[in-house]
Amino acid sequence: MELAERDHVHAQLLQQLVVVPQASSIVDAFYAWMLKRPAVAAIIEGRFDPARLKRSQIEYLLSLGINFHTEEYFERRLRVGLAHAGAGVPLGLTQAGFRLMEQLLIDHIPTDRIDAPTRDTLIAFVIKIAALDFALTIESYHNAQVRSLEKSVQSLRREGGRLYRQATIDVLTGVATRRHVIEVLQKGLRLAQLNGRPLSLILLDVDFFKQINDRHGHSVGDRALRGIAARIKGAVREADEVGRYGGEEFVAVLPDTPLAIACEIAERVRDRVASAPIHCEGRMLNVTISLGLAQAAAKDSVDGLIARADGALYCAKKQGRNRSMVEQEGRYRSARSKTSAVRARLRPQIETVASDELSAARAEKGQRPLS
């Protein structure tokens, strides 16, 4: 602002000739002009006491330019910006107020008590000190706005996260909502058909769940569903998506998974649920589930794939529950037999590897290899 040491003298002269004797009239003229503006009146009316605002403005003027090089001076001007930002005063209105005050100070410089060069010097000082004050006000105003925006962004992110969880996570069970898991299935099916990769689907339904609600109440039923959902989630892989399809029915989308592996996973899920009673409000509930599986075909739609898995689920229920059934080319068979076939196919490889490892271990110990 090109303020120099000699400007401390100019600050004292400005106070002596202009501010101290005429502060009240300057402030009155300031508010008389500002309050004619609807935007200013809307901010002040009902929220601030005009008399108190005038007293604050007079105090501000009585410190104008005094020790302008100190931290205390800077801090006081920075607080002005924070106050304006907090009150919601538009930045343009703040600038207009500084420009008006600058002009009023210049207009109140007496012409009959000082010579022209001194008056010009005082005018130059008023312009410089007003520019300094305005710059400090703008800096703190801007920082306050940035902090406010950052808080708003954080709040929006939190709210966005909450809404996302609400839209994608089933509140009762903690697994995906039906809408979200169907979206995952749609995307996975498109990708699988585009890349020629396998995708399998499992529909799961809790056996005799209505009896749990009828005998123990819906509160126990809800706790049982949460426990079942947790066991299902614990039995599938990280890449698999589990969702609540409706009521006591769940769905699991298994990307990059052929039917044989899906059978392994389905049996693991079924065993995990049935392996131990579920603790619900002091009760021990033995719960089982029935599962239906299908692998996506080249021309499958989402509804078609679900219908095929649902047919396998219906077959599992019909054949006695607590079992996994597979749909393939319109026929149904037990997933357990499919699982056994996979294990049988892999057993020679496993036994060969195990034999080689044992022979290597015996050789290291100097023992004769097994014949």
| Catalytic sites, residue numbers | 248
Q: Which two tokens stand for residue 15?
A: 């106070």
Concatenate the DSSP letters of all residues of 32-86 into one string: HHHTTSHHHHHHHTTTS-HHHHHHHHHHHHHTTTTTTTSHHHHHHHHHHHHHHHH
- Interacting residues of 121 by C-beta distance below 8 A, sequence separation 6+: 10
Strand 324-328 to 289-295 pairing: parallel
pLDDT at 340: 54
β-pairing verdict for 331-334 and 324-328: antiparallel
Is 21 within 8 Å of 142 (Cβ atoms)? no
Structure token digits, residue 74: 């800077």
How many angstroms separate the CA atoms of 73 and 331, rounded? 87
CA-wise closest residue to 328 among 295, 291, 290: 295
* Res 207: pLDDT: 97
For 113, 313, 317, the CA distances from 307, given in Å and listed in that order, are 99, 10, 15
Please give the pLDDT value at position 343: 53
Beta-carbon contacts of 371 under 8 Å, excluding residues fewer than 6 positions away, are: none
Claim: this prediction has a pTM higher than 0.85 = no
pLDDT at 336: 87
For the chain, list the strands marked E by DSSP: 199-206, 241-246, 249-255, 278-280, 283-285, 289-295, 324-328, 331-334
Residues 76, 136 contacting (CB under 8 angstroms): no
Cβ atoms of 278 and 217 within 8 Å: the answer is: no
Over the chain (371 residues), what is each successive 10-residue block's mean pLDDT? 89 94 93 85 80 90 92 90 84 88 93 91 93 90 84 85 84 95 96 95 97 94 96 96 96 97 97 94 93 95 97 96 94 79 48 45 47 36
- pLDDT of 85 reads 85
Residue type, position 364, single letter: E
d(CA 305, CA 311) in angstroms, rounded, equals 10
Give the whole-angstrom CA distance, residue 100 versus residue 202.
74
- Phi, psi at residue 223, to the nearest 5°? -65, -40
First to last CA, the chain: 97
Identify the pLDDT of residue 353. 39
The pLDDT value recorded for residue 355 is 45
Domains, the chain, ordered by start: 7-152 (1.10.490.10), 178-350 (3.30.70.270)
Distance CA 274, CA 285 (A): 10
Joined tokens for residue 142: 């801007």
Residue 244 backbone phi and psi in degrees, to 5? -90, 115
pLDDT confidence of residue 324? 97
H/E element, 272: helix 259-274
